[in-house]
Structure 1
Amino acid sequence: MLNSDFLVQRPVYLIDASVFVFRAWHSVPLDLVDPDGNAVNALHGFSRFLGELIERVRPEHIAVAFDAGLVTSFRKRLYPAYKANREPAPVDLKRQFLLCQRVCAGLGIASFVSGDYEADDIIGTLATRARAEGHKVVIVTRDKDLSQLVRPGDEYWDYISDKRFPYERIADRFGVRPERMACFLALMGDAVDNIPGVPGVGRKTASTLFYHFESLNHLYNDLDRVLKIKLRNAGFVCGQLRDYRESAFLARQLTEIACDMPLDVELAQLRRRPPDLGELNKLYDTVGFGRLLRNQAERITALS
């Protein structure tokens, strides 16, 4: 008999809900509506994605992280302009996010949302706790920010393009090792999230810098070394780094995923349960869905 120490733990799947809800919102026709005329396109697309993933990998442990909004996020308190360039989500889409959480419950999957923290922080905290109990994690997303969470044995799964990136391939895909990603993003800034960064430092420059430096602290503790590495316009870059030091460290607070947020959950709660077909069918009746998703839920029940 094998000693339990040699048994391989199956990975914990951690899903970034927003990627798949927004994709469905933009790709599934808006004329998919409930009996009252409310759009349910994002709900349908997300539900189908989640069911397909379950059928495909049959996860033992799985969780879905949702964003509650940006107004109360701790990052917003640090930097009021954080994500201020984004248009508020349409009311029809906000309503569907809530329905997507009901689908998770109906499919037997734990889901989490926080007013103070973002989905990325929920995933980071769950990943840290899973590893502490001997599990590797698979992060299901296509958001580059989440690549900073990948550690040896883990995978970053871009489900939409069906490409998986283990720890060893993250630098080739995104330009820097996972442990240095938050610093890399801080120097480049992020127009999507309205993070300023250091002007004049782009992806290639930031990638070169964090090939040579372990972190932002290491970089600023030995800034003159920038002049000695093979870097185009090293003098200019060094000057920009000096001038925008405060901006870089502020950005670092915004780009780093919190892996220790207060979250009242144990890993056992992430174990997938059989679907509650009664609750799912009630929801699907309310929104006017036909057999496609019901059949899917029945197949998942048979696999449980």
Structure 2
Amino acid sequence: MAQIIETSSQSFASVDVDLVTVDIIENALRNARYEMDAVLFRTAMSPGIREQHDEFPLIADHKGRMVVGQFGSFIGGFLDNYQGTVEEGDIFLTSDPYSCDGAISHANDWLVLMPIYLEGRIVGWAAMFGHMTDVGGKVPGSLPTDAESIFEEGVVIPPTKIYRRGVLNHEMLELILSQVRMKQWNRSDLNAIVAACRTAGRRVVELCGRFGTDVYISTLEQLLERNYRAMEQLILQTVSEERISFTDYLDDDGLGNGPYRIHCTMWREGNKVHLDFEGTDPQSEGPINFFLNVNMFK
């Protein structure tokens, strides 16, 4: 588990926040999320980022819960599994899908995570990933359709402290860049992602300065509670307690094998949605179960 270093032990106070302030902070965070995109599009070099916009930002609260963004909040899982410290000025880089709860899907996605500190305490997190044009591997572009292992797809970066207390780890960065075909592109893209996260950090600190840190933190609690209620209603209104099944097929695995059968049964129990993949090919040794609990969104 990660050890978070904070020089202030003062806890955040829960305060009442009027609806106007909630609305202002919510929209300011939404604008900060779009500003992250703008910074990245204007400074990255890879066409997948600049033109296709294959990138996604995230701004989270001090507990790592996503407030605005476009991909799942992986920060809780990261903190549970990272064996090291988190300090002011640190910035983390990973391209390992298995280290971030699948927030990225392959090695081409470079994911940056940055804690946002104010007066010795973490007040939020900023994260963003971008699809690199090449990360090494057996073919240019690093997307071999006939790959039989992840190691054929290029360099896989475990959660790495690429900035330590604000200082770039040059040796680590050069080690990573030596594995790719277009070193300058990847360097520029990484710098652009880091700049976008720092932009989000500045905006969060500005909001805390304008309204007060306790007001800011309490506002995020209200926004998350509102999302919780909305998600609960969606589950209750749209998902039946009756089991519904569906079958589809994955045509090919890139090696001439297939098609593969994908079978899913869905139903609701209370405010939990169950997704049962028993019957999916290849057959598992037992049922594959997954459920969505509305409490996951709190």
Report the TM-score, using the length of structure 2 for normalisation: 0.32
**Structure showing the higher helix proportion among its residues:** 1
RCO higher in structure (CA 8 A, sep ≥6)? 1
**TM-score, scaled relative to structure 1:** 0.32
